Amino acid sequence: MKHISPNLVAADIPARPPTRRALAKQQTREKVLAAARRLFSEEGYEGATIRDIAAAAGMSTGAVFANFSDKSDLFREIMADDMESLRGAMRDAATRGRTLEDAVLKVFMAGYTFYKSRLQLARAAFSVSWDKDGGPTLRGLPSSVAFHEIFAEQMDAAVERGELGEEAEVKLRAQMLFDTYLSNFPQAIFEGWSLDALQSRSRDQIRIILAGARRS
Amino acid sequence: MTTDAESPPAASPPARWSQKEATRQRVIDAARDLFDTHGYQGTTIREIARHAGVAVGSVFTTFASKGEILSEVMATRLAALCAEIGRLSPHIHGSTADRLRTMFAVHFEFEARQTRLFLAHVAAAYDWTLTPGAQPYGRNAHFQEVIKATLARGVAQGDVRSDADPQEVVDLLMAAYAWTWRLVITESADVKAMIAVMDRQIGLVAGGFTPKS
């Protein structure tokens, strides 16, 4: 999948506008991605076929394959896009926290808010990530690891401030916080929990996870 | 099951019932092996029927969906596991954290006999074709009750805060347990590695429920 975005072309050769061909290709990709996003949300990862995605985008399967090597490639691209935006939103949220607990809670809420309008896509991602073949592809995405770092950075800062003790086991605790954040998604997906309900549950969970690390 | 002479004359329902039961058992056995080999997405009802040596139609007379078959497979396994824990529990001593560690270690060792089957069980929780009869991972109350009983014993022996919400602790432990399995996917972790990570996570959660001295 070697694709050069028009922006990149423009940046390299400032004087020349993107070629019509490059623009058309970019538009095709975006159309396919939008159609795929919708079908993955409606049918799940297994249920959505490349043929249906092509039809929904109003093009041939050949045209889809000219831009994406397969379905997992398409799905990964959508997830990578979302994770990148989400990571930004979470980082912003973290800086607004007054205490460690507050910052971590705000990071959780940034995630639940981001996915509120795309819960079915999250559901498809969970289903893929627990598949022994599909899992490694998704989990290997660089930004998925970066989520742990957001929590770890907040805890490192709290250790420096003296809010947490030196023996805070930051790495494991960051992992647990992320897992806990993820573990609340079924409530949102299947039981329709509101953001308020998720917030109050998360607050209690975060408190328990951080309690042992507090400087006494 | 034997019938005595007083029973009403043998009628077709019991015979049909036992045939249905036999089909059900064959389907469950075949499904357990197929899920463990091919995962949740990779296993079809058609394949299950073929391996069980029954018609696809008769699978559907017993189970509404693939997810329901998997639920049944897991429920059967869980019954065996609970028996194992029941046998062990009188012999488990020590702090609440240590007792929890032992109980989770037993779980890991048990499920690790068929790793992929367990992963299929978790994956199925997000399946699109799930029917109401299916009971995916995380919605089974039995193990949660065992953990709550352990915590209650901890409150009695003084190493669990009495104001700690048992359901919250259970949820955290169950989340940690499920997600520790991802190490199989991401790092091909073996059962010893998973237990070691879980032990540390239980330690962190225990930090949250231990009374401040």
pLDDT of residue B86: 78
A16-68 has which CATH code?
1.10.10.60
Question: Quick one: pLDDT band at residue B135, thresholds 50, 70, 90?
Answer: low
The pLDDT tens digits for A111-129 are 999 999 999 999 888 888 8
Q: Do A169 and B204 touch (CB under 8 A)?
A: yes
Residues of chain B neighbouring A123 (CB-CB closer than 8 A) = 126
Question: Quick one: pLDDT band at residue B12, thresholds 50, 70, 90?
Answer: low
pLDDT of residue B116: 86
* Among A28-32, A104-108, A163-167, A169-173, the range of highest mean pLDDT: A104-108
Kindly report which listed range (A17-26, B36-45, B126-135) carries the lowest average pLDDT score: B126-135
For the segment B85-95, the average pLDDT, to the nearest whole number, is 83
Question: Quick one: pLDDT band at residue B4, thresholds 50, 70, 90?
Answer: very low
pLDDT of A199 strictly over 60: yes
Q: Please indicate whether residue A9 or residue A60 has the higher confidence score (pLDDT).
A: A60
Say whether domain B74-209 belongs to CATH 3.50.50.60: no
pLDDT of residue B186: 78
The pLDDT tens digits for A11-31 are 455 567 778 888 888 899 999
Q: Is B173 on the interface with A (CB under 8 A)?
A: no
Q: Do A173 and B204 touch (CB under 8 A)?
A: yes
Instruction: Please count the residue pairs, one from chain A and one from chain B, whose beta carbons lie less than 8 angstroms apart.
Output: 103
pLDDT of residue B3: 41
pLDDT of B159 strictly over 90: yes
Predicted interface score ipTM higher than 0.85? no
Cross-strand pairs, A214? A164
pLDDT of residue B19: 82
pLDDT of B142 strictly over 80: no
Q: State pTM to two decimals.
A: 0.81
Considering only CB atoms, B39 lies closest to which of A133, A172, A180, namely A133
Provide CB contacts within 8 A for B66, sequence distance 6+. B40, B43, B44, B45, B48, B124, B127, B129
pLDDT of residue A6: 47
**The pair of three-digit structure tokens given for residue A118, joined into one six-digit string:** 């795309």
pLDDT of A138 strictly over 70: no
pLDDT of residue A134: 66
Residues of chain B neighbouring A172 (CB-CB closer than 8 A) = 197, 200-201, 204
Give the minimum alpha-carbon distance from B127 to chain A in angstroms, rounded to a whole number: 7
Question: Quick one: pLDDT band at residue B5, thresholds 50, 70, 90?
Answer: very low
Residues of chain B neighbouring A174 (CB-CB closer than 8 A) = none
Q: Is B174 on the interface with A (CB under 8 A)?
A: yes
Q: Do A189 and B41 touch (CB under 8 A)?
A: no
Considering only CB atoms, B200 lies closest to which of A127, A172, A209, namely A172
CA distance A46 to A37: 13
Give the minimum alpha-carbon distance from A139 to chain B in angstroms, rounded to a whole number: 7
The CATH architecture assigned to A70-210 reads Orthogonal Bundle (1.10)
Q: Do B204 and A44 touch (CB under 8 A)?
A: no
pLDDT of B26 strictly over 60: yes
Residue ranges per structural domain of chain B: 11-63, 74-209
Q: DSSP letters along chain A, please?
A: -----HHHHHHHSTTSPPPHHHHHHHHHHHHHHHHHHHHHHHHHHHH--HHHHHHHHTS-HHHHHHH-SSHHHHHHHHHHHHHHHHHHHHHHHHHT-SSHHHHHHHHHHHHHHHHHTTHHHHHHHHHHHTSTTHHHHHHT-HHHHHHHHHHHHHHHHHHHHTSB-TT--HHHHHHHHHHHHHHTHHHHHHH---HHHHHHHHHHHHHHHHHTTB--
pLDDT of B6 strictly over 50: no
Query: Taking all residues of chain B, what is their mean pLDDT, rounded to a whole number?
Result: 85
CA count, 13 A, side-chain hemisphere, A67: 26
pLDDT of residue A207: 93
Q: Do B127 and A127 touch (CB under 8 A)?
A: yes
For the segment B176-205, the average pLDDT, to the nearest whole number, is 91
pLDDT of residue B14: 60
Kindly report which listed range (A2-16, B126-140, B168-182) carries the lowest average pLDDT score: A2-16
Considering only CB atoms, B39 lies closest to which of A132, A201, A210, namely A132
Residue ranges per structural domain of chain A: 16-68, 70-210
Nearest to B105 by CA among B181, B185, B196, B208: B196
Residues of chain A neighbouring B194 (CB-CB closer than 8 A) = none
Give the residue on A whose Cα is nearest the Cα of B170.
A205
Nearest to A73 by CA among A53, A103, A102: A53
The pLDDT tens digits for A56-109 are 999 999 999 999 998 988 999 999 899 989 999 999 999 999 999 999 999 999
The CATH architecture assigned to B11-63 reads Orthogonal Bundle (1.10)
